[in-house]
Every structure is written in structure tokens, then in C-alpha cells.
Structure 1
Amino acid sequence: MSDQSAKYVVDPYEFIHEYIDSVPHLEAMILFWNSRPVGWTCDELSSRLYIPSEQVNGVIRDLVRLQVIQEHPGTPEKFSYFPRSDEQNNLMRSIDDAYRRDLVRISTMLHSKASSPVREFARAFRFRKDKDQ
């Protein structure tokens, strides 16, 4: 996942291709969206997504970095959807709709991506235009 917050992309497929690393990332993001404003613990997400808690920790870290979810301190920590703007909400709605309509295509697209470490390495070498220039 990119260290910068996600730019708003009109096409949900472009957003998923650019910013989402795996099916668990996408399903967690959609779960947070559909259950807003409910907070989820790592254990609850692990149980709901059928993935080990170590993997959930990575998914949460990536979605926080993407600024799609936020942490609610406490014992245990909880995380919930982070509604930053109407544009983000519209994007999330279109991602949810696209995944419901086109599950196989989106899952195949995610499974065909390079591994996360390879993508992270490649992202480190992308040239980005600074906003100040």
C-alpha cells in the first residue's frame, strides 16, 4: 500500500488496482464501510475475514496508512471506517457496488498482482510530482 493517502479515483477498479493489495484488504475495507460507525477489534476481524490475526494486523496497518480506517484507542483497540469526505464516501459506495456485481473479475485482478513486498519495493522508486512545484 502507498504511504500517502489515496487520491480519489472515479473508477472503483482503478482504485482497487492502485491501492488495494489483496482480497482480505478489500473485504476488510468493505466490512468497515458497511458496518460504519461500528468499531472492530483485530480478533473480531480475524474471525469475520477468516484470516490469522498476524495478517489482520498488516491489513489494518495498510488501511490506516491509506486513511480509510481510524484507530479508537482502548483495551482492546478498535478500528472503524474513517469518513474524511463525501468524495471518499462516494468512492466507497462505488467500490462496494462493483465488488458485489463483479466479484470474480475483482478477485482475479487482486490475485494476479505481484506480491506485496515486490509492489512496495516498486513504489519506492516511483516519481511523484510534488504539490508545491
Structure 2
Amino acid sequence: MDAFTPKPDADPYEFIHENLDSVPHLEALILFWNSRPVGWTCDELASRLYIPSELVNGVIRDLVRLQLVQEQPGPPTRYSYSPRSDEQNELMRVVDDAYRRDLVRISTMLHSKASSPVREFARAFRFRKEKDQ
């Protein structure tokens, strides 16, 4: 996952497919979006998403890399939605709406993606190709 820059009129399904690796990624992002500007600790997020803290750490790391979530230092460290543009905020609104309307389709789409290690391997080559150009 590399930093995401939304395009005007971005398709929420394309955004989800191209940028999010799993249902927990999407649900965490939607939780951050709907609770903005409130920050969440890893443990709070794990409890809310019903997944282990170790998985939450990876989800947060990926969302930070996309620059959709930002770290709020302090004890304890919290994370929150990072609004970078009106286009990003509009995309998040339509992603949230799409997930509410089309939960099964979107969940199936995410579950059918290649495994995370396979995607990471492919990303390494994509990053290198972009860097070489």
C-alpha cells in the first residue's frame, strides 16, 4: 500500500479493491471516518473490530502508509482519520455508503483477493518499476 491520492468522482469499489487488503482494513477505516476526529488506541480498535491486537497493528500501519490515518502521539498512542482533501472526504463518504448498501458484495470482493504475502510481493515489484522510471 502506497500513499493514496483520490481522484474526483473516484469509484468506491475501485478504491476498496485497489487499496484495501481485507475487511478489517475497510471496517477500521470506516470506524476512523465515522468517529473523526476521535482517536483510537490499538487495543480499543481490536476490541471494536473483534480481531487480535497484532492484526490491528498491521491494519493501522497499512492505513497510515496510505495517509488515510495518522498517529496522535502521547501515552497512549492513538490513531485517527487524516483528512487531506475534500476529494478524500467525499470518497470516504461514498465508501461508507457503499459498504452500508453492499456489505456482502464488498466483503466477498475483499475475501477473494490474493493472500497478503502475495500482494506484498507484487507491490515490491510495482514500487521498483515506478522507482526505475
Give TM-score scaled by structure 2 length: 0.92
Q: Percent identity?
A: 80
**1:8 aligned partner:** 6
User: Gapped runs of 5+ residues in structure 2?
Assistant: none
Cα RMSD after superposing both structures: 1.4
Give TM-score scaled by structure 1 length: 0.92
1:123 Cα deviation after fit: 1.5
CA distance in 2, matches of 1:86, 1:12: 15
User: Gapped runs of 5+ residues in structure 1?
Assistant: none
1:128 Cα deviation after fit: 3.2
**2:38 aligned partner:** 38
> Aligned with 1:128: secondary structure?
helix
Q: Matched residue pairs, number? A: 129
Greater per-residue helix proportion:
2
CA distance in 1, matches of 2:131, 2:16: 22
Which of 124, 127, 130 is matched with 1:128 structurally? 130
**1:118 aligned partner:** 118
List structure 1 runs of 4+ shifted beyond 3 angstroms.
127-130
Deviations 1:70-90 (A, max 9, x none): 001011100000000000000
